[in-house]
Amino acid sequence: MSQPKLLIIDDDTILGLMMQNIARPLNIEARYTSDALQFFAVLEQWQPDVVVLDLVMPGMDGVQLIQELARRRCRARLIITSGVSPRVLEAAQRSAVENGLSIAGMLPKPFTPDDLLSLLVPLESEPADNALARHRSPLQGLKADRIDLGRALDRRELSVAYQPKICYRTGAVIGVEALARWVHPELGMVPPDHFIVLAEQHNLIHPLSRQIFEQALDWLAGLEPEYGGRLMLSINLSALLLSDAGLPDWLSQAVESRGLSTERVILELTETCATQDVGGSLEMLTRLRMRGFQLSIDDFGTGYSSLLQLTRMPFSELKIDKSFVMSAMASHESRVIIESIIDLGHNLKLEITAEGVEDDATLRYLCQAGCELLQGYYVSRPLPAEQAAQWLREYRPDRNHWPARAG
Ligand code: C2E
Ligand code: CA
Ligand code: CA
């Protein structure tokens, strides 16, 4: 097992060294600096697994450090520490998550060695494989450009991963979300957030969406003999597609030509795209609903929507954004937002799904708060086609697969 690596930046040298000393007996390699330039140099060369970052340092702004980490697509998990009020700490955490960083925990000052230990112990026991997997950062994949993407589409190199969605109350699998995947032959894994934007910018989003949609439908049709009509398929739609008047035709033709029904397909749209160009999208969304498709507002809570507009849109589901879900247990504010979203969803008679459920505590909290449809690493990561089919075959709600039901 390779030693996990911890990088600490804090202007308080005594505290920094204390943190270093707490980590070492856990077999965690720790380095400390109080200097931003040195911090980024070590970060690049040494590739730590976890970064402890002090939010307030003289002459340095922790929030800017967080932004810079995001810009560099830092894969290390973050522990944010500070003596500022919990609200400021929470705001910093939220902005980190929104910028794609992953959080290992918060450490309000003053903290005890035990507080830090409780965040570091999971790291110590983590298998080396996981620590290594994070090192294989998708930085390389970000070099993929529109020519690569065009070629990948011609060669049909994109694939689909499927992430199950579960109903907590009944334990049943409700369906799966299809997520596009692209492994570039030289550059490796290209993150979807990168290639979807590329496709949108270079007029490739139509062929891309078509390939993903067709693959996912073929996969679903292949499972029909086993699951006959029971699995729902969620699929992400770029807002750009909504201006294509032919969309309802090609989508329903693709579904029906495989002997499937459009009621089984949930089209996920982000909140922002569902509320811009209100007139045009209202018409398109209504046409899609009339064809039988379900409509879901993705990443709910992150966009800027007027409630009035939302209530007028023909949605059937609302997905609570993972930035709130992932911080729910650590953030009072996230819980307030989650609970208001659940309330709103219930009042509008929408299905409510939480995405980004990573642990048992969050899962229990969400169910108790009234959100029963769950998706996240705790249930399953997105899986390649074959593995996803296998997962579905082996899944038993009352066995160890579903630890929450044991208690
Ligand atoms: P999304 O629609 O919000 O999808 C959920 C993302 O959260 C996925 O990232 C999924 O892998 C990740 N996720 C799920 N559970 C957890 C969890 O417990 N913890 C954490 N940390 N993450 C979790 P992914 O696959 O990287 O996709 C990123 C985004 O790319 C998607 O966000 C979606 O907006 C876009 N995307 C993916 N496939 C397509 C596609 O076929 N078409 C379009 N238009 N967009 C797509
Ligand atoms: Ca989605
Ligand atoms: Ca989402």
What is the full DSSP assignment across 356-390?
A: ---SHHHHHHHHHHT--EE-STTT---EEHHHHHH
Rounded CA separation 2/40 (Å): 22
Q: Ligand 3 centre and the CA of 324: distance in Å?
A: 11
Q: What's the pLDDT at 398?
A: 57
CATH number given to 5-125: 3.40.50.2300
Q: Ligand 1 centre and the CA of 179: distance in Å?
A: 6
Q: Ligand 3 centre and the CA of 110: distance in Å?
A: 35
Helix ranges (H only) for 155-306 are 192-201, 205-227, 247-256, 271-275, 278-290
Beta bridge partners of 80: 53, 106
Q: What are the φ and ψ backbone dihedral angles of 77, each rounded to 5 degrees?
A: -85, 150
The H or E element that residue 54 is part of is: strand 50-54
Dihedral class, residue 244 (left if φ above 0, else alpha if ψ from -120 to 50, else beta):
beta
**Coil, helix or strand for 212?**
helix
DSSP for 84-112?
Answer: S-HHHHHHHHHHHHHTT-EEEEEEESS--
**Coil, helix or strand for 79?**
strand
- From 236, 237, 271, 324, give the residue whose CB has the most ligand 1 atoms within 8 Å, as the site to mutate: 236
Q: Ligand 3 centre and the CA of 27: distance in Å?
A: 36
What architecture is the 146-405 domain classified under in CATH? Alpha-Beta Barrel (3.20)
Do residues 15 and 111 touch, judged by C-beta distance below 8 A? no
Torsion angle, CA of 101/103/109/110, rounded to 10 degrees?
-150
CA torsion through residues 23, 28, 95, 337, sign: negative
Q: What's the pLDDT at 134?
A: 39
Do residues 309 and 280 touch, judged by C-beta distance below 8 A? no
Q: What's the pLDDT at 131?
A: 40
Q: Ligand 1 centre and the CA of 31: distance in Å?
A: 33
Beta bridge partners of 119: none
Residue 153, judged by CB atoms within 10 A of its CB (0-12, 13-18, 19+), counts as middle
Q: What's the pLDDT at 25?
A: 76
Helix ranges (H only) for 240-359 are 247-256, 271-275, 278-290, 307-312, 322-326, 332-347
Question: Ligand 2 is a single-atom ion; what residues have CB below 5 A from it?
Answer: 236, 268, 298
pLDDT tens across 30-60, in order?
999 988 889 999 999 999 999 999 988 877 7
Query: What is the model's pTM?
Result: 0.72
Q: Ligand 2 centre and the CA of 75: distance in Å?
A: 22
Q: How many residues does the chain have?
A: 407
- From 93, 196, 201, give the residue whose CB has the most ligand 1 atoms within 8 Å, as the site to mutate: 196
As given in the structure block, the two tokens for residue 66 are 């967080």
Residue range(s) in the chain whose domain bears CATH number 3.20.20.450 = 146-405
Pairing of strands 188-190, 173-184: antiparallel
Q: What's the pLDDT at 238?
A: 92
Ligand 1, atom 11, residue with closest C-alpha: 382
Question: Residues with Cβ within 6 A of ligand 1?
Answer: 163, 179-180, 191-193, 196, 209, 212, 236-238, 268, 298-299, 322, 355-358, 375-377, 382
Residue range(s) in the chain whose domain bears CATH number 3.40.50.2300 = 5-125
Rounded CA separation 145/11 (Å): 40
Q: Digits of tens for pLDDT over the chain (407 positions)?
A: 578 899 999 988 888 888 888 887 778 889 999 888 899 999 999 999 999 999 888 777 888 899 899 999 999 999 999 888 888 888 888 888 888 899 988 898 888 888 888 888 777 644 444 443 333 344 577 788 999 999 999 999 999 999 999 998 888 999 999 999 999 988 888 889 889 999 999 999 999 999 999 999 999 999 998 888 889 999 999 988 998 999 999 999 999 999 999 999 999 998 766 556 656 788 899 999 999 999 999 988 876 666 766 777 899 999 999 888 988 998 888 899 999 999 999 999 999 999 999 999 999 999 999 998 999 999 999 999 999 999 999 988 754 445 444 33
Q: What's the pLDDT at 272?
A: 64
Residue identified by tokens 């931003």 is 36
Ligand 1, atom 32, residue with closest C-alpha: 193
